[in-house]
């Protein structure tokens, strides 16, 4: 089968022919149909400091996908060939205190699909049955491929109550963009988005942003435009840029609440005395609440939210180099790799 392989330190990936994997007990073999390029994949592609200290080579990256079950081993429950599925990319141990207390998203032994275990940038992938999410028949394949990143947006937006709140989002990458309509659905009175890329600011406006700003230093002006003199009620840091987090904290109201999903590439100096005196709450968010968030995603789709609107490009898997170049630019939303265009029994194109 074809697979995108990271087999050497340094920038890039290679499209190789590798053996098709065989599922062991408790695993399923999935034919990958579409796979999204995530920020994590870009870290691995560029081979930055985070990737160099985290990833063990060789590796097949990728974790956002939709596929079709083609084979199952023993102990896979009711999973059957032909079902359209995605998978939870945080593979948990199932035995630790948090897993056994119905909080697997807090598992300290979590292994990332496509990071510490071969992922889905391939024609086929083997996955634990316990991580599989079975989609409803007729699911739109683009939407199904986004359950993982859309779940990030839903998890972040569901952290604090948003009804009647004035919300700031720093970073309009794909997850930041998908967070905007979710925040509005949860009742946010206004959503201000900070994003330096004009293209992504336009996408943010299409997603329902009240005000867009090119720089986090412009948050004060956005507050004045909204008639607020005391800061934002809720902030969501989605960019991973250290200055964005600093500016966001500075523009929160007393008692404000901040969600941090973006991953800075270096330590961020923080005035903890200021956080204490203004009684701010800072909550880190990673991934999804397994599988509660996935059910919330389904409910939001039923309510009419369309995360696939953030997809701006599709590329055949063989053209992965162009796909990664576009994904790295600021002229794209979500970039999707198409591994198979064959009609499937459970999904539609």
For tokens 């946010």, what's the residue? 188
Q: Tell me: the pLDDT tens digits for 203-212?
A: 999 999 999 9
φ, ψ (nearest 5 deg) of residue 276: -65, -50
Q: Please, are residues 93 and 65 in contact by the beta-carbon 8 Å criterion?
A: no
Q: Indicate if the pLDDT at residue 274 is higher than 90.
A: yes
Q: Please, are residues 166 and 228 in contact by the beta-carbon 8 Å criterion?
A: yes
The CATH number of domain 160-284, selected from 3.40.640.10, 3.40.1180.10, 3.40.50.150, 3.40.50.720: 3.40.50.720
pTM: 0.94
Name the least confident of 4-18, 142-156, 328-342: 328-342
Closest by CA to 84, choosing from 25, 119, 34, 154, is: 34
Binned at pLDDT 50, 70 and 90, residue 279 comes out as very high
Q: Please, are residues 3 and 120 in contact by the beta-carbon 8 Å criterion?
A: no
Domain ranges for the chain: 2-150+289-348, 160-284
Query: Active-site residues: which are they?
Result: 40, 43
Please compute the mean of the pLDDT values over residues 107-112 and round it to a whole number.
Answer: 97
CATH tag, 2-150+289-348: 3.90.180.10
Q: What does the pLDDT read at residue 349?
A: 39
Output the average pLDDT for the chain: 95
Q: Please, are residues 346 and 84 in contact by the beta-carbon 8 Å criterion?
A: yes
C-alpha separations of 146 from 160, 189, 232 in Å: 23, 26, 29
Please compute the mean of the pLDDT values over residues 274-294 and round it to a whole number.
Answer: 97
Considering Cα of 67, then 70, then 73, then 75, what sign does the dihedral take? positive
Q: Tell me: the pLDDT tens digits for 162-192?
A: 999 999 999 999 999 999 999 999 999 999 9
Please compute the mean of the pLDDT values over residues 294-313 and round it to a whole number.
Answer: 97
Q: Indicate if the pLDDT at residue 40 is higher than 90.
A: yes
Q: What does the pLDDT read at residue 320?
A: 98
Here the tokens at position 315 are: 């590329």
Question: With DSSP H G I counted as helix, E B as strand and the rest as coil, what are the percentages for the chain, rounded to 5?
Answer: 30, 25, 40
Q: Tell me: the pLDDT tens digits for 61-85?
A: 999 999 999 999 999 988 999 999 9
Fold match between domain 2-150+289-348 and domain 160-284: no
Q: Please, are residues 172 and 203 in contact by the beta-carbon 8 Å criterion?
A: yes
Please compute the mean of the pLDDT values over residues 36-48 and round it to a whole number.
Answer: 95
Q: What does the pLDDT read at residue 341?
A: 75
Q: What is the Rg, in whole angstroms, of the alpha carbon atoms belonging to the chain?
A: 20
Here the tokens at position 204 are: 């943010």
């Amino acid at each position: 089968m074809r697979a995108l392989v990271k087999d050497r330190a340094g920038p890039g990936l290679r499209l190789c022919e590798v053996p098709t994997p065989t599922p062991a007990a408790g695993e399923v073999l999935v034919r990958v149909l579409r796979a999204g390029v995530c920020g994590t994949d870009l870290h691995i592609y560029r081979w930055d400091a985070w990737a160099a200290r985290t990833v063990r080579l060789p590796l097949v990256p990728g974790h956002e996908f939709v596929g079709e079950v083609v084979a199952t081993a023993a102990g896979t429950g009711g999973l059957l060939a032909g079902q359209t599925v995605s998978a939870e990319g945080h593979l948990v141990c199932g035995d630790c205190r948090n897993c056994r207390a119905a909080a697997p998203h807090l598992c300290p032994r979590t292994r990332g699909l496509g990071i510490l275990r071969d992922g889905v940038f391939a024609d086929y992938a083997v996955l634990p049955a316990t991580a599989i999410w079975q989609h409803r028949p007729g699911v739109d394949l683009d939407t199904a491929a986004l359950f993982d990143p859309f779940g990030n947006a839903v998890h972040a937006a569901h952290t604090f109550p948003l009804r009647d709140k004035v919300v700031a989002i720093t970073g309009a990458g794909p997850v930041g963009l998908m967070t905007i309509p979710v925040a509005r659905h949860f009742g946010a009175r206004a959503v201000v988005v900070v994003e330096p890329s004009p293209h992504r600011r336009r996408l943010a406006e299409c997603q329902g942003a009240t005000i867009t700003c090119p720089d986090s230093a412009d948050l004060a002006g956005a507050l004045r435009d909204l008639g607020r003199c005391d800061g934002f009620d809720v902030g969501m840091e989605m960019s991973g840029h250290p200055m964005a987090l600093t500016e966001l904290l500075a523009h929160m109201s007393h008692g404000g609440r901040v969600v941090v999903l973006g991953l800075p590439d270096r330590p961020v100096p923080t005035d903890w005395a200021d956080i204490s005196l203004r009684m701010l709450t800072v909550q880190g968010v990673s991934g999804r609440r397994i599988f509660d968030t996935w059910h919330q995603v389904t409910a939001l789709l039923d309510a009419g939210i369309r995360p696939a609107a953030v997809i701006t490009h599709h590329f055949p898997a063989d053209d992965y180099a162009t796909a990664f170049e576009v994904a790295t630019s600021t002229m794209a939303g979500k970039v999707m790799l198409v591994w198979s265009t064959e009609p499937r029994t459970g999904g539609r194109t």
